Amino acid sequence: MSALFRFVMAAALLAASGSLMAQSDAAYKLRHGDALMVSVWKDEALRMEVRVLPDGSITFPLAGRVSVVGLSTPEVEARVAEKLKKYIPEPVVTVAITATDGNQVFVLGKVVRPGAVTLTSSETTVLQMLSQVGGLDRFADGNSIRVLRNSPQGKRVLPVRYDDLVKGNQLDTNVVLMPGDTILVP
């Protein structure tokens, strides 16, 4: 690579680093099941879509297995580039998220369309999710809904009082959902 190209790349990285540092806390962190497009500049053979495996890693040609769960895309780019340096001098790696399937919530029981639903916001509540699956069917027991959550402290059961919520009561039971939550509607 020419010295001019390296200078331009370094200047661009320096300019971007200030905004990257400001965004790093808010950057999306990868989860199991997410899909990524990983590419190496000027090498079409090193461009492929990969999925984050259950062990938290991806597999990429020449780089091998790379742990990525909990990382942002710039962090993954740096890890892959570091592993590629053995084979490619100064690799420029780009990682783009193509699917956030690791952000799913599961809705089971007496709803119109039960199944897995991808969270599109970090502020999605139980009421919003139940509306996304078409609402409760007529035989559902709205005040007996439960959210099952795995947390670092262990498994938790969070009560949801749907019938009261739609009347404007028990608002604290309108739980903000997290990836991996399961909503049970008896």
* pLDDT for res 122: 84
Question: Averaged over 103-110, what is the pLDDT?
Answer: 95
The band of 25, judged by pLDDT with boundaries at 50, 70 and 90, is: low
- For the cut 90, the answer to whether the pLDDT of residue 68 exceeds it is yes
* pLDDT for res 184: 97
Question: Averaged over 155-181, what is the pLDDT?
Answer: 94
Which tokens in the block code for residue 28? 């999306």
Question: Averaged over 27-53, what is the pLDDT?
Answer: 94
- 94-112: string of b/e by CB count within 10 Å (b at 16+)? ebebeebbbbbbebebbbe
- For the cut 60, the answer to whether the pLDDT of residue 6 exceeds it is no
- For the cut 80, the answer to whether the pLDDT of residue 86 exceeds it is yes
* pLDDT for res 27: 84
Question: Averaged over 49-69, what is the pLDDT?
Answer: 96
* pLDDT for res 85: 95
Global confidence as pTM: 0.70
Q: What is the mean pLDDT of the chain?
A: 87
Question: Averaged over 140-148, what is the pLDDT?
Answer: 96
- For the cut 80, the answer to whether the pLDDT of residue 125 exceeds it is yes
CA distance 159 to 165: 12
